Amino acid sequence: MQNDFKLLQLLADGRFHSGEDIAAQSGITRSAVWKKIQSLKVLSRLEIQAVSGRGYRIPGGIDALDRQQIDSLLQAGGLPVERLEVVHHIDSTSQYLVERREQHRDGTECCLAEMQTAGRGRRGRNWVSPYGKNIYLSLARWINRPMFGLSGLSLVIGVAVATALEKLHLTGISLKWPNDLHLDEKKLAGILVELQGEVEGPVRVIIGLGLNIHLAADSRQQIDQPVTDLASHFKNLPSRNVLAAGLIAEISGMLDRFEAEGLKPFVEQWNRFDLYRDQAVSLLRVNDRVDGIYRGIDAAGELLLESPQGIAAYNAGEVSLRKS
Ligand code: BTN
Protein backbone atom coordinates (compact mmCIF):
# COMPACT_ATOMS: atom_id res chain seq x y z
CA MET A 1 0.00 0.00 0.00
CA GLN A 2 2.72 2.51 0.95
CA ASN A 3 4.19 1.68 -2.46
CA ASP A 4 1.04 2.74 -4.30
CA PHE A 5 1.46 6.16 -2.80
CA LYS A 6 4.78 6.57 -4.66
CA LEU A 7 2.60 7.29 -7.66
CA LEU A 8 1.22 10.31 -5.84
CA GLN A 9 4.78 11.55 -5.32
CA LEU A 10 5.22 11.48 -9.08
CA LEU A 11 2.04 13.51 -9.53
CA ALA A 12 2.86 15.90 -6.65
CA ASP A 13 4.34 18.49 -9.05
CA GLY A 14 0.85 19.24 -10.42
CA ARG A 15 1.94 18.64 -14.04
CA PHE A 16 0.52 16.11 -16.51
CA HIS A 17 2.26 12.73 -16.62
CA SER A 18 1.29 10.39 -19.42
CA GLY A 19 0.00 6.91 -18.60
CA GLU A 20 2.91 5.58 -20.65
CA ASP A 21 5.55 7.45 -18.60
CA ILE A 22 3.99 6.43 -15.32
CA ALA A 23 3.75 2.82 -16.48
CA ALA A 24 7.42 2.84 -17.53
CA GLN A 25 8.58 4.42 -14.27
CA SER A 26 6.52 2.10 -12.07
CA GLY A 27 7.20 -1.06 -14.08
CA ILE A 28 3.48 -1.82 -14.61
CA THR A 29 1.08 -1.73 -17.56
CA ARG A 30 -0.97 1.31 -18.55
CA SER A 31 -4.19 -0.38 -17.51
CA ALA A 32 -2.63 -1.18 -14.11
CA VAL A 33 -1.77 2.54 -13.81
CA TRP A 34 -5.41 3.43 -14.48
CA LYS A 35 -6.59 0.96 -11.83
CA LYS A 36 -4.10 2.28 -9.26
CA ILE A 37 -5.19 5.86 -9.95
CA GLN A 38 -8.84 4.90 -9.40
CA SER A 39 -8.09 3.24 -6.06
CA LEU A 40 -5.83 6.11 -4.96
CA LYS A 41 -8.58 8.60 -5.79
CA VAL A 42 -10.95 6.76 -3.49
CA LEU A 43 -8.41 6.27 -0.71
CA SER A 44 -6.79 9.74 -0.74
CA ARG A 45 -9.87 11.70 -1.79
CA LEU A 46 -7.53 13.83 -3.92
CA GLU A 47 -8.70 15.21 -7.24
CA ILE A 48 -6.69 13.38 -9.91
CA GLN A 49 -7.58 14.52 -13.42
CA ALA A 50 -7.31 12.16 -16.38
CA VAL A 51 -7.19 13.94 -19.76
CA SER A 52 -6.88 11.86 -22.88
CA GLY A 53 -3.72 12.60 -24.86
CA ARG A 54 -2.11 14.37 -21.85
CA GLY A 55 -2.27 11.90 -18.96
CA TYR A 56 -2.91 12.36 -15.26
CA ARG A 57 -2.35 15.30 -12.93
CA ILE A 58 -3.27 16.60 -9.50
CA PRO A 59 -4.45 20.19 -10.03
CA GLY A 60 -2.35 22.49 -7.84
CA GLY A 61 -0.01 19.62 -6.94
CA ILE A 62 0.81 18.45 -3.42
CA ASP A 63 3.13 20.16 -0.98
CA ALA A 64 4.53 16.75 -0.02
CA LEU A 65 6.12 15.91 3.31
CA ASP A 66 9.81 15.03 3.05
CA ARG A 67 11.51 13.30 5.97
CA GLN A 68 15.00 14.39 4.94
CA GLN A 69 14.05 18.03 4.61
CA ILE A 70 12.35 18.09 8.01
CA ASP A 71 15.35 16.32 9.55
CA SER A 72 17.82 18.83 8.02
CA LEU A 73 15.76 21.77 9.24
CA LEU A 74 15.74 20.31 12.75
CA GLN A 75 19.51 19.67 12.63
CA ALA A 76 20.11 23.23 11.39
CA GLY A 77 18.02 24.59 14.28
CA GLY A 78 20.09 22.54 16.75
CA LEU A 79 17.06 20.54 17.95
CA PRO A 80 17.22 17.22 16.12
CA VAL A 81 14.93 14.38 17.21
CA GLU A 82 16.29 10.88 17.64
CA ARG A 83 13.68 9.10 15.50
CA LEU A 84 11.58 10.74 12.80
CA GLU A 85 9.23 8.81 10.53
CA VAL A 86 7.11 10.15 7.69
CA VAL A 87 4.51 7.78 6.26
CA HIS A 88 1.90 8.12 3.56
CA HIS A 89 -0.90 6.28 5.20
CA ILE A 90 -1.58 5.13 8.76
CA ASP A 91 -4.56 4.52 11.05
CA SER A 92 -3.33 7.08 13.61
CA THR A 93 0.14 8.51 14.22
CA SER A 94 -0.61 8.60 17.96
CA GLN A 95 -1.84 5.01 18.05
CA TYR A 96 1.34 4.00 16.23
CA LEU A 97 3.53 5.59 18.91
CA VAL A 98 1.32 4.25 21.74
CA GLU A 99 2.02 0.75 20.44
CA ARG A 100 5.80 1.37 20.36
CA ARG A 101 5.95 1.94 24.11
CA GLU A 102 8.69 -0.58 24.83
CA GLN A 103 10.92 0.23 21.84
CA HIS A 104 12.94 3.18 23.15
CA ARG A 105 13.43 4.59 26.62
CA ASP A 106 15.52 7.53 25.48
CA GLY A 107 15.09 10.46 23.11
CA THR A 108 12.12 11.67 21.12
CA GLU A 109 10.14 9.73 18.53
CA CYS A 110 8.10 11.56 15.91
CA CYS A 111 5.67 10.29 13.35
CA LEU A 112 4.07 12.39 10.60
CA ALA A 113 1.56 11.07 8.10
CA GLU A 114 0.15 12.34 4.82
CA MET A 115 -3.20 10.85 5.81
CA GLN A 116 -4.84 8.99 8.71
CA THR A 117 -7.66 6.51 8.33
CA ALA A 118 -8.60 6.49 12.03
CA GLY A 119 -7.33 9.84 13.32
CA ARG A 120 -8.27 10.28 16.98
CA GLY A 121 -9.58 13.43 18.58
CA ARG A 122 -10.34 14.25 22.21
CA ARG A 123 -13.38 12.74 23.92
CA GLY A 124 -13.46 9.78 21.55
CA ARG A 125 -14.04 11.95 18.48
CA ASN A 126 -12.64 11.21 15.05
CA TRP A 127 -10.04 13.59 13.52
CA VAL A 128 -10.73 14.19 9.83
CA SER A 129 -7.39 13.50 8.10
CA PRO A 130 -7.46 13.69 4.27
CA TYR A 131 -4.28 13.12 2.23
CA GLY A 132 -1.56 15.72 1.72
CA LYS A 133 -3.41 18.76 3.02
CA ASN A 134 -2.77 19.24 6.73
CA ILE A 135 -0.37 18.24 9.49
CA TYR A 136 -0.91 15.05 11.48
CA LEU A 137 1.99 14.81 13.89
CA SER A 138 2.67 12.71 16.97
CA LEU A 139 5.66 12.95 19.25
CA ALA A 140 6.52 10.61 22.13
CA ARG A 141 9.12 10.70 24.88
CA TRP A 142 9.63 9.75 28.51
CA ILE A 143 9.41 12.49 31.10
CA ASN A 144 11.00 12.13 34.47
CA ARG A 145 8.05 13.33 36.57
CA PRO A 146 5.22 11.58 38.39
CA MET A 147 1.81 11.62 36.69
CA PHE A 148 0.41 14.25 39.06
CA GLY A 149 3.33 16.47 38.04
CA LEU A 150 2.06 16.53 34.48
CA SER A 151 -0.98 18.71 35.05
CA GLY A 152 -0.71 21.60 32.68
CA LEU A 153 1.30 19.65 30.10
CA SER A 154 -1.41 19.94 27.48
CA LEU A 155 -1.49 23.72 27.98
CA VAL A 156 2.27 23.88 27.42
CA ILE A 157 1.86 22.06 24.11
CA GLY A 158 -0.76 24.62 23.07
CA VAL A 159 1.70 27.41 23.89
CA ALA A 160 4.42 25.59 21.89
CA VAL A 161 2.21 25.25 18.81
CA ALA A 162 0.98 28.86 18.94
CA THR A 163 4.58 30.08 19.42
CA ALA A 164 5.90 27.97 16.53
CA LEU A 165 3.24 29.42 14.22
CA GLU A 166 3.93 32.95 15.43
CA LYS A 167 7.65 32.51 14.71
CA LEU A 168 6.63 31.69 11.12
CA HIS A 169 4.62 34.96 11.01
CA LEU A 170 1.29 33.16 11.32
CA THR A 171 -0.14 35.50 13.95
CA GLY A 172 -3.51 36.10 15.59
CA ILE A 173 -3.84 32.57 16.93
CA SER A 174 -5.53 32.04 20.30
CA LEU A 175 -5.75 29.17 22.75
CA LYS A 176 -9.11 27.95 23.97
CA TRP A 177 -8.62 26.22 27.30
CA PRO A 178 -7.30 23.63 27.66
CA ASN A 179 -5.52 23.38 24.33
CA ASP A 180 -7.53 24.03 21.17
CA LEU A 181 -5.97 26.51 18.77
CA HIS A 182 -8.40 29.03 17.34
CA LEU A 183 -8.25 31.58 14.59
CA ASP A 184 -11.13 33.96 14.09
CA GLU A 185 -12.99 32.03 16.85
CA LYS A 186 -12.94 28.83 14.79
CA LYS A 187 -10.91 25.71 15.52
CA LEU A 188 -7.59 25.62 13.65
CA ALA A 189 -5.83 22.78 15.44
CA GLY A 190 -6.34 20.23 18.19
CA ILE A 191 -3.98 18.53 20.62
CA LEU A 192 -4.38 15.11 22.18
CA VAL A 193 -2.11 14.15 25.08
CA GLU A 194 -1.91 10.49 26.12
CA LEU A 195 0.12 9.10 29.01
CA GLN A 196 1.76 5.73 29.66
CA GLY A 197 3.81 4.53 32.61
CA GLU A 198 3.66 4.33 36.38
CA VAL A 199 1.76 6.79 38.59
CA GLU A 200 5.01 7.71 40.36
CA GLY A 201 6.83 8.19 37.00
CA PRO A 202 8.66 8.30 34.72
CA VAL A 203 5.78 8.82 32.30
CA ARG A 204 5.76 8.38 28.56
CA VAL A 205 3.84 11.24 26.93
CA ILE A 206 2.37 10.86 23.47
CA ILE A 207 1.40 14.19 21.99
CA GLY A 208 -0.81 14.27 18.91
CA LEU A 209 -1.30 17.44 16.89
CA GLY A 210 -3.73 17.95 14.03
CA LEU A 211 -3.29 21.32 12.27
CA ASN A 212 -5.60 22.36 9.45
CA ILE A 213 -3.75 23.90 6.52
CA HIS A 214 -6.09 23.30 3.55
CA LEU A 215 -9.43 21.95 4.67
CA ALA A 216 -11.64 21.17 1.69
CA ALA A 217 -15.43 21.64 1.80
CA ASP A 218 -16.10 17.89 2.04
CA SER A 219 -13.83 17.65 5.10
CA ARG A 220 -15.51 20.65 6.78
CA GLN A 221 -18.87 18.97 6.34
CA GLN A 222 -17.68 16.03 8.41
CA ILE A 223 -16.78 18.24 11.40
CA ASP A 224 -19.48 19.22 13.89
CA GLN A 225 -18.07 22.60 14.95
CA PRO A 226 -16.85 25.81 13.28
CA VAL A 227 -13.42 25.09 11.80
CA THR A 228 -10.85 27.00 9.83
CA ASP A 229 -7.47 26.45 8.18
CA LEU A 230 -4.26 28.44 7.68
CA ALA A 231 -4.84 28.85 3.93
CA SER A 232 -8.04 30.86 4.57
CA HIS A 233 -6.10 33.45 6.58
CA PHE A 234 -2.56 33.67 5.21
CA LYS A 235 -1.38 34.21 1.64
CA ASN A 236 2.22 33.03 1.69
CA LEU A 237 2.23 29.89 3.74
CA PRO A 238 5.49 28.14 4.58
CA SER A 239 5.77 24.62 3.18
CA ARG A 240 4.40 21.78 5.32
CA ASN A 241 8.00 20.65 5.91
CA VAL A 242 8.95 24.04 7.35
CA LEU A 243 5.79 24.03 9.47
CA ALA A 244 6.43 20.48 10.71
CA ALA A 245 10.05 21.23 11.63
CA GLY A 246 9.06 24.44 13.45
CA LEU A 247 6.36 22.61 15.39
CA ILE A 248 8.56 19.67 16.37
CA ALA A 249 11.41 21.95 17.49
CA GLU A 250 9.14 24.15 19.60
CA ILE A 251 7.25 21.23 21.17
CA SER A 252 10.42 19.33 22.09
CA GLY A 253 12.18 22.47 23.38
CA MET A 254 9.22 23.32 25.61
CA LEU A 255 8.92 19.70 26.79
CA ASP A 256 12.53 19.89 28.02
CA ARG A 257 11.72 23.02 29.97
CA PHE A 258 8.44 21.58 31.28
CA GLU A 259 10.27 18.46 32.52
CA ALA A 260 12.69 20.64 34.48
CA GLU A 261 10.40 23.46 35.68
CA GLY A 262 6.74 22.43 35.30
CA LEU A 263 3.96 24.77 34.12
CA LYS A 264 5.08 27.89 36.00
CA PRO A 265 7.32 29.48 33.32
CA PHE A 266 4.56 29.05 30.72
CA VAL A 267 1.62 30.68 32.52
CA GLU A 268 2.42 34.16 31.26
CA GLN A 269 2.82 32.92 27.68
CA TRP A 270 -0.47 31.05 27.98
CA ASN A 271 -2.20 34.25 29.13
CA ARG A 272 -0.96 36.04 26.02
CA PHE A 273 -2.83 33.58 23.77
CA ASP A 274 -5.89 33.10 26.00
CA LEU A 275 -9.11 33.33 23.94
CA TYR A 276 -11.96 33.97 26.41
CA ARG A 277 -10.20 35.80 29.24
CA ASP A 278 -12.68 37.85 31.33
CA GLN A 279 -15.62 36.86 29.14
CA ALA A 280 -18.93 35.24 30.13
CA VAL A 281 -18.68 31.48 29.57
CA SER A 282 -20.44 28.22 30.36
CA LEU A 283 -18.74 25.07 31.57
CA LEU A 284 -20.50 21.95 30.41
CA ARG A 285 -20.43 18.92 32.71
CA VAL A 286 -21.93 15.49 32.10
CA ASN A 287 -25.29 16.39 33.65
CA ASP A 288 -25.33 20.15 34.10
CA ARG A 289 -23.64 23.41 33.31
CA VAL A 290 -22.06 26.23 35.32
CA ASP A 291 -22.07 29.84 34.13
CA GLY A 292 -19.68 32.59 35.11
CA ILE A 293 -16.82 34.83 34.07
CA TYR A 294 -13.69 33.06 32.88
CA ARG A 295 -10.68 34.32 34.84
CA GLY A 296 -7.85 32.42 33.15
CA ILE A 297 -5.84 29.56 34.65
CA ASP A 298 -4.21 28.78 38.00
CA ALA A 299 -0.68 27.47 38.64
CA ALA A 300 -1.83 23.88 37.88
CA GLY A 301 -3.45 24.85 34.56
CA GLU A 302 -7.00 24.51 35.91
CA LEU A 303 -9.68 26.87 34.65
CA LEU A 304 -10.81 29.62 37.04
CA LEU A 305 -14.49 30.52 36.92
CA GLU A 306 -15.96 33.43 38.83
CA SER A 307 -19.58 33.08 39.86
CA PRO A 308 -21.68 34.78 42.58
CA GLN A 309 -20.34 32.04 44.93
CA GLY A 310 -16.72 33.12 44.31
CA ILE A 311 -13.85 31.76 42.17
CA ALA A 312 -13.60 27.99 41.65
CA ALA A 313 -11.08 25.87 39.72
CA TYR A 314 -12.09 23.14 37.22
CA ASN A 315 -9.90 20.59 35.49
CA ALA A 316 -10.01 19.63 31.83
CA GLY A 317 -11.31 16.13 32.53
CA GLU A 318 -14.51 17.37 34.16
CA VAL A 319 -15.75 20.25 31.99
CA SER A 320 -15.73 21.64 28.49
CA LEU A 321 -15.72 25.37 27.86
CA ARG A 322 -18.19 27.36 25.74
CA LYS A 323 -18.62 31.08 25.23
CA SER A 324 -22.03 32.15 26.65
C1 BTN B 1 -8.74 17.27 19.36
O2 BTN B 1 -9.76 16.57 19.38
O3 BTN B 1 -8.81 18.50 19.40
C4 BTN B 1 -7.38 16.61 19.27
C5 BTN B 1 -7.05 16.17 17.88
C6 BTN B 1 -5.71 15.52 17.72
C7 BTN B 1 -5.52 14.99 16.32
C8 BTN B 1 -4.12 14.51 16.08
S9 BTN B 1 -3.77 14.24 14.37
C10 BTN B 1 -2.25 13.48 14.79
C11 BTN B 1 -2.50 12.63 16.02
N12 BTN B 1 -2.98 11.31 15.64
C13 BTN B 1 -4.22 11.10 16.02
O14 BTN B 1 -4.87 10.07 15.80
N15 BTN B 1 -4.71 12.17 16.67
C16 BTN B 1 -3.71 13.22 16.77
- Would you call 285 a catalytic residue per the annotation? no
- Would you call 235 a catalytic residue per the annotation? no
The confidence score (pLDDT) of residue 58 equals 94
Mutate to test the pocket of ligand 1, among 92, 99, 127, 212 (most ligand atoms within 8 A of CB): 127
Tell me the pTM.
0.93
The confidence score (pLDDT) of residue 43 equals 85
In tens, the pLDDT along 25-65 reads: 888 899 999 999 998 998 888 899 999 999 999 998 999 99
Catalytic: which of 57, 187, 204, 240? 187
In tens, the pLDDT along 220-263 reads: 999 999 999 999 999 999 999 999 999 999 999 999 999 999 99
**Angstrom distance (rounded) from CA 188 to CA 93:** 19
| Burial bucket for residue 90 (CB in 10 Å: 0-12, 13-18, 19+) | buried
